[in-house]
Chain A
Amino acid sequence: MSFVRINPGDLIQAVNVNQIIDALTGAVGKGVAMAMTALNDQTNYALTVQNQDATNSRALLVLNSAGTMMERIDATGISFGTPLNLANNSVQGAALVDAGVPNAKLGPDVARANLLTNGGFEIWQRGNGPFTTSSVFTADRWQIGLDGTDTLNVQRDAVNIDVSSGNAAVVAYVHGSGTGGTGLYQPLQPNTDLWGLRGRPLTFSVRVRASTANVARAFVNNNGTLAYSSYHTGDGTYQTLSVTVTAAALPTTFNVGVSFNNTNATVYIDNANLVVGSQPANYVPLHPADDLARCLRYYEILGESGSSIILAQANSIGGSPMRHTVYYKARKAVAPTVTKNGTWTVSNCGQPGVGSAGVDSVWMAGVVTAPGDAYMNSGNSGVNISVEANP
C-alpha cells in the first residue's frame, strides 16, 4: 500500500494514519522506502541531516535487519560496521595516522629485513654436495641435523627452484628411527652473535616443495622448545611454510629450518626468511655482494683462483723462519678454524704452517731451507686457505 496525498480539507484516512504508525514502528511489510532526493541546485546539498544538540550531535544511525550498526555519525565521529568495503585505491596514504600500521597488519609482500644468512640458498662455498654427515654445513650456514637412523642427502639444485631464484637445496630424506628431529637448519646464536633476537617476536618462513604429504615442515628451535608449521601437503608445488615464536630472553639455542619425518621423500627448499614480528614476509633477495658478505662472516676461502697466494721472502741464509700475515675478506663472528688445504708449491722453504688465527687475520709461517728467493704458493683448485667460524 502506498500513501495517498492529503490535500487541505481532505479527511485523513485511518489507513493512512496506521500506515504512518506502522512505518515509524518498523512493522514488517509496511512503510515506504525513502525515494532518492532529487535536486537540481548548485549550492544546496540534496540531503542534509543535522542534530542541533551540541552534546552528542547524533545525526545519523543506520542499522541492518539485526539491529547491528552499519553507520553512525555523531559527535564521536563517523563509525562503520564490518566489513567495510572500500573501492580499490580509494584511500590516500596521507589519511593514515602516522606510525599507525602495526606489524600484525602487514601482508607478506611487505619487504622486511631478513635476519638469515644465505636465506635464498644461493651461496655454496663448500661445494655443491652431496652432503650427508650430521652437523656438517651444506649451503652456507645451512647445517644438517640427523635423528636416529634417518639419513639426508643435501645438494645444490639450480633447476627445481622457487620463482626468481638461482639455486635451491634438494634434500633426499630417508626415514629411519627418527621422530622428527632430522632437519636442514640454520643455527643463530643469540648469545654470541645475533643478540638482537633476544625476546623478540620472530616469524620464520620458507618455501618448500614436495610431492609427498606430511614429510616436511618448517620449525623453530627456541631454546629447546620446538614450534612447527603445518606439513607440506605434497601437491608438488612450492608452498610457504611459516612459524611464529617469541624468542626466549636469553636463548642459548635458536635454530630455524625444515624438519623431516614419517616417510621417504625428496624435498626442495628455497627462499627462507626470518623477520621480526608476527607476520611472515616474502623472501626478497639481497644484492649478491651483500648476500656473500653475510656468508663471509662465517666462512671463506682465500686463494680460490689457482696460485693466487704467494708468501715470499728473500733470504741470505737458510734455517730461518719466514712469516706473513694473511688478511681475511671479512671479520669472523668468532676466532675461526683456519685450514691450509693441500700441498703448496714451495721454493727454498718448507710447507706453510698456520700460526695464530684472529678474527680478521692469521699469520702463516714456513722455514727457509736455503738462501735465495723463498716462496710458498697456493696451487690449483683446492690448494688454498679456508677460514671457518661457526658461533
Chain B
Amino acid sequence: MSVRPITHNADGSIDVVYDEGGHNGTIPAAEIVWGTKLDGSHDHNFIMLNCPDGCGASSLWPVGGGADAVNGQQMFVNKTTSEGCTCGQVEATDADAIGESHVRLNVNRMDGPGRWQLG
C-alpha cells in the first residue's frame, strides 16, 4: 500500500492514509510536490507524498494513478489546475479544462488509452 489520497480538499490539501503504519493526516497543498528528474528539475509525471506522521514513508505517484487511478489522477488535475504544470504548458490562470486535458494527455502517454478514470 502507500501514502494515498482519500479526500481532496477545497484549499488544495489532501487527506491521506498510510495503511502500513496506520497513519493518516492532511498534506497541505504546498507539500504536494512534483517528482524530480535526473537533472533536478520537476517532473509532471510524478507527485511525491510524504506521510504526514513523519514516519519516513514516502510514495511516488505516477500521473496514470498507480495504486488508485481515480484519486491519483484527481490529485494531478487539482495541482495542475490550481498552480499550472511544472512543464510550462499550463498556467495557473488557464481554464481548468486545459489543465485537465493536459493531465489526461499525460495519463494516456503513460498507461495508454482507457486508463483515464475521471469523468
Q: Provide the residues of chain B in CB contact with A335, threshold 8 Å.
A: 62-64, 66, 110-111
Q: Is the CB of B35 within 8 A of A336?
A: no
| B45 contacts chain A at the CB level, 8 A cutoff | yes
A354 and B69 contacting across the interface, CB-CB below 8 Å = no
Give complex CA distance A390, B66 in Å. 6
Contact A336 B57 (CB under 8 A): no
Tell me if A214 counts as interface (CB < 8 A to partner B): no
Give CA–CA (A340, B38) in the complex, Å: 18
| B59 and A338 within 8 A (CB) | yes
B17 within 8 A of A: yes
Stretch at the interface among A37-45, A131-139, A221-229: A131-139
A388 touches B1 (CB 8 A): yes
Q: How far is the CB of A352 from chain B (nearest CB, A)?
A: 9
* Residue of B with least CB distance to A390: B67
Report the Cα distance A126→B112, complex, angstroms.
27
B62 close to A336 (CB less than 8 A): yes
Q: Is the CB of B1 within 8 A of A386?
A: yes
A334 and B66 in contact, given A192-B111, A323-B38, A356-B45 (Cβ under 8 angstroms)? yes
On chain B, the residues within 8 Å of A342 by CB distance are 55-57
| Alpha-carbon distance between A189 and B68 when the two chains are bound, in angstroms | 13
Contacts of B26 in A (CB 8 A): none
Q: Name the contact of B3 in the complex, choosing from A135, A136, A339, A357 (C-beta under 8 A).
A: A339
Q: At the interface, yes or no: A166 with Cβ under 8 Å from chain B?
A: no
In the assembled complex, B19 has its CB within 8 A of some CB on chain A:
yes
- Report B-chain residues with C-beta under 8 Å of the C-beta of A263: none
B64–chain A nearest beta-carbon distance, Å: 5
Which residue among B55, B57, B62, B64 has the maximum number of chain A CB atoms within 10 Å of its CB? Answer: B62
Q: Which of B1-47 contact A (CB under 8 A)?
A: 1-4, 17, 19-21, 35-38, 43, 45-46
Query: A388 and B67 in contact (CB under 8 A), knowing A126-B19, A136-B1, A353-B36?
Result: yes
Contact partner, A334, options B58, B59, B115, Cβ 8 Å? B115
**Which of A135, A336, A353, A389 makes the CB contact (< 8 A) with B58?**
A353
Bound Cα distance from A111 to B55, whole angstroms: 47
A389 to B66 alpha-carbon distance, docked (Å):
5
B57 contacts A339, C-beta separation under 8 Å: yes
Considering the complex, which residues of chain A in the window 98-137 have a beta carbon less than 8 Å from any beta carbon of chain B? Answer: 126-127, 133, 135-137
A148 on the B face (CB < 8 A) = no
Whether A357 lies near B55 (C-beta < 8 A) is no
Determine which of A135, A192, A337 lies in contact with B66 in the assembled complex, contact meaning CB atoms within 8 Å. A337
Q: Which residues of A contact B17 (CB under 8 A)?
A: 133
Among the listed B46, B114, B115, which residue makes an inter-chain contact with A356, where contact means beta carbons less than 8 Å apart?
B46
Contact A388 B2 (CB under 8 A): yes
- Contacting pair B48 A354 (CB below 8 A): yes
Residues of chain B lying within 8 A (CB to CB) of residue A323:
38
Please tell me if the beta carbons of B58 and A340 are within 8 angstroms of each other in the complex.
yes
Task: Say whether A343 faces chain B, with CB atoms less than 8 Å apart.
Answer: yes
In the complex, the answer to whether A334 meets B36 with C-beta atoms within 8 Å is no
B60 located at the interface, meaning its Cβ lies under 8 Å from any Cβ of chain A in the complex: yes
Q: A382 on the interface (CB 8 Å rule)?
A: yes
Q: How far is the CB of A355 from chain B (nearest CB, A)?
A: 7
Query: Is B36 a contact partner of A339 (Cβ separation < 8 A)?
Result: no
A334 touches B111 (CB 8 A): yes
Q: Which residues of A from 341 to 367 have beta carbons under 8 Å from B?
A: 341-344, 351, 353-357, 362, 365
A192, B57: Cβ atoms closer than 8 Å:
no
Q: Closest CB-CB distance, A206 to chain B, in whole Å?
A: 24
Cβ of B99 < 8 Å from any Cβ of A?
no
Residue B65 interfacial (CB < 8 Å): yes
Least Cβ distance of B27 to chain A in Å? 14
Contact of A337 among B55, B60, B114 (CB under 8 A): B60
Among the listed B56, B59, B69, B72, which residue makes an inter-chain contact with A351, where contact means beta carbons less than 8 Å apart? B56
Flag whether B61 is at the interface (Cβ < 8 A).
yes
- Chain B residue at minimal CB-CB distance from A364: B60
Distance from B75 Cβ to chain A, minimum over Cβ atoms (Å) = 11
Q: Does A391 contact B (CB under 8 A)?
A: yes
A351–B48 CA distance with the chains assembled, in angstroms: 14
Instruction: Report if A357-B1 is in contact (Cβ < 8 Å); known contacts: A191-B114, A336-B66, A343-B55.
Output: no
Q: Could you write out 6 A-B pairs with CB less than 8 Å apart? A: A191-B114, A335-B63, A335-B66, A337-B66, A340-B56, A365-B36
Q: A334-B64, A337-B62, A339-B57 are in contact. List 8 more A-B contacts (CB 8 A).
A: A334-B62, A335-B62, A337-B4, A338-B59, A338-B60, A339-B2, A356-B35, A356-B37
**6 A-B pairs closest in CB distance:** A337-B66, A191-B114, A343-B56, A388-B67, A354-B60, A335-B62
